[in-house]
């Protein structure tokens, strides 16, 4: 009995010490907690109970705490984060003190599928990829190639498919259509080949679904303790089994494309036919490395291709899906977009516009900016502090502090956008003289800010406006009755159940 009493006393003493250490830690680093903390599980129950509307719930909580707060996860799991949607904090981390806020090793572990590509790299590895992609994406020949590729895909695949659906009177999932369109498009621009996913029979495409699964699994890694998903990875169960299968499918596809491309280039050199290859990005990467006597290894090319796919596929799909949902539920905005196109280019004279033509559509550009403000394709970004710092909001940051920047919330803050921030208002982006209003990137954060701002911003707007203009010049999009748009739980802001719509021919 005495032995048991001593054992109980020892256990109680250890528990008391742990609690004291925990309280000391919280007083030192958690000066502005955003939730009530429970013993052992921390603040995680709040997240799990509201996971079904995580983005809006996070926005609401951050607003209640002045835009910045601290989240404490289950004890001893390392799931402690600083959360912010304060534009001054964002500007400080992404621009003013850029060197102090990195992706970090834990980020690369979570985003394992991205390899050592531009999105996960830091320091010199990031600079090398950044300079390389800058030279590729900003080259005039690639811009021309991209424009022709998009126009061809819209004219020969997208519009015929929508016409087929409209004639049959079928409900169509526009998000699925855009997923297929952007997948074909990115395969053409990055790999130089068209898998033809966008066809009237809607073929099953394993590689396209593998990308979606990998992104959902990465989101899952953010909301569970590291040891949980690592245990699942080891046992190959749950989300981690799906992640492994998705990555295997992706790698087989990408490496086969790399091997095929090497054969094509080698054959072209042997034959010396002088044939001009399409300037797809993989070909350019291979030629550039070989031209400098530093041929890129397959693993480098694999990571580059994967990162380009995510950048050029998912973000465009997200933006187009939310754009058409917003336009379909705001008929006055739709009418003004169509009116602008008719004034500039006449009625039904030309369906698929060129890049120089869509640049003239200021109101359409404003509607796109509003879409990206309210529904940024990447809803949150993760950083890690290298050294101690103090944010403009007054919050102290310790070395290795993990920080989540809530980009979704930033587009819904009254202090940034005004009391009408929840309204779709393209006029917000149009000056009195009819030009486009410039908003600092640390406020309009859809394309990131600072040295890591999006290299493909201008190209993205061209793609978005060519597709949107082509559809709206021909069709009226109507969301099916009773449909509720729900953001998916993924690192890319898609719709959970797709976007179900009816297409009708536009009447003039």
- Round to whole Å and give the CA distance between 40 and 55: 25
* Total residues found in the chain within this entry: 508
Long-range contacts of 206-211 (CB under 8 A, 24+ apart): 206/249, 207/183, 207/249, 207/250, 207/253, 208/179, 208/180, 208/183, 209/246, 210/245, 210/246, 210/247, 210/249, 210/250, 210/253, 211/246, 211/250, 211/309, 211/310, 211/313, 211/314
Q: Which two tokens stand for residue 306?
A: 């994967």
For residue 99, what is the DSSP state? G
Residue located via tokens 């609401």: 60
Q: Helix 315-328 and helix 331-345: axis angle, to 10°?
A: 110
Q: Which two tokens stand for residue 101?
A: 């806020």
Nearest to 158 by CA among 148, 170, 168, 150: 150
Query: DSSP for 462-505?
Result: HHHHHHHHHHHHHEEEEEPTT----B-SSSS--BTT--EEEEEE
Long-range contacts of 351-356 (CB under 8 A, 24+ apart): 351/155, 351/159, 351/470, 351/473, 351/474, 352/151, 352/154, 352/155, 352/159, 352/466, 352/470, 353/465, 353/466, 353/469, 353/470, 354/147, 354/151, 354/466, 355/143, 355/147, 355/462, 355/466
Beta-bridge mates of residue 495? 487
CB atoms within 10 A of CB 108: 16
For residue 432, what is the DSSP state? T
Q: Which two tokens stand for residue 496?
A: 């959970």
CB 17 within 8 A of CB 11: no
- Round to whole Å and give the CA distance between 40 and 26: 13
Please indicate if the annotation marks 454 as binding a ligand: yes
Beta-bridge mates of residue 68? 84
- Round to whole Å and give the CA distance between 102 and 104: 5
Q: Which two tokens stand for residue 174?
A: 């526009």
Beta-bridge mates of residue 397? 389
Residues making up the binding site: 454
Residue set of the binding site for heme: 454
């Amino acid at each position: 009995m005495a032995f048991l009493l001593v054992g109980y006393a020892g256990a109680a003493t250890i528990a008391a010490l742990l609690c004291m250490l925990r309280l000391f830690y919280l007083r030192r680093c958690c000066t502005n907690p955003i939730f009530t903390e429970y013993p052992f599980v921390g603040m995680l129950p709040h997240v799990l109970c509201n996971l079904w509307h995580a983005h809006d719930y996070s926005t609401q909580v951050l607003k209640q705490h002045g835009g910045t707060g601290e989240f404490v996860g289950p004890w001893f799991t390392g799931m402690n984060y600083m959360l912010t949607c304060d534009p001054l904090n964002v500007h400080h981390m992404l621009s003013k003190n850029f060197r102090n806020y990195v992706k970090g090793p834990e980020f690369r572990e979570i985003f394992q599928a991205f390899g050592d590509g531009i999105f996960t790299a830091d320091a010199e590895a990031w600079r090398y990829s950044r300079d390389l992609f800058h030279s590729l994406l900003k080259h005039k020949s690639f811009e021309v190639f991209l424009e022709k590729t998009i126009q061809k895909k819209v004219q020969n695949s997208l519009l015929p498919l929508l016409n087929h659906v409209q004639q049959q009177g079928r409900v169509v999932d526009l998000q699925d259509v855009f997923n297929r369109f952007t997948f074909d498009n990115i395969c053409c621009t990055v790999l130089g080949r068209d898998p033809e996913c966008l066809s009237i029979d809607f073929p099953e495409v394993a590689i396209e679904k593998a990308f979606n699964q990998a992104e959902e699994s990465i989101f899952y890694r953010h909301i569970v303790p590291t040891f949980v998903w690592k245990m699942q990875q080891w046992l190959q169960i749950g989300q981690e089994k799906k992640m492994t299968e998705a990555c295997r499918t992706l790698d087989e596809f990408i490496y086969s494309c790399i091997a095929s491309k090497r054969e094509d280039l080698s054959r072209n050199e042997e034959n010396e036919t002088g044939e001009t290859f399409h300037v797809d990005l993989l070909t350019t990467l291979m030629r550039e490395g070989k031209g400098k006597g530093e041929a890129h290894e397959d693993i480098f090319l694999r990571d580059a291709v994967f990162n380009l796919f995510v950048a050029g596929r998912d973000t465009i799909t997200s933006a187009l899906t939310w754009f058409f949902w917003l336009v379909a539920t705001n008929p006055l905005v739709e009418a003004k977009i169509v009116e602008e196109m008719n004034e500039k280019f006449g009625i039904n004279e030309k369906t698929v516009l060129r890049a120089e033509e869509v640049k003239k559509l200021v109101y359409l550009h404003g509607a796109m900016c509003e879409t990206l403000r309210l529904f940024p394709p990447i809803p949150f970004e993760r950083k890690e502090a290298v050294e101690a710092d103090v944010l403009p909001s007054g919050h102290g940051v310790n070395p290795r502090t993990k920080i989540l920047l809530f980009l979704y919330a930033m587009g819904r803050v009254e202090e940034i956008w005004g009391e009408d921030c929840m309204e779709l208002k393209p006029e917000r982006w149009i000056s009195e003289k009819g030009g486009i209003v410039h908003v600092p990137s640390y406020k309009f954060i859809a394309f990131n800010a600072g040295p890591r701002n999006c290299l493909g911003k201008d190209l993205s707007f061209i793609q978005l406006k060519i597709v949107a203009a082509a559809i709206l010049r021909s069709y009226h999009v109507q969301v099916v009755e009773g449909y509720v748009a729900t953001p998916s739980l993924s690192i890319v802001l898609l719709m959970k159940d797709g976007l179900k719509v009816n297409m009708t021919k536009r009447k003039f």
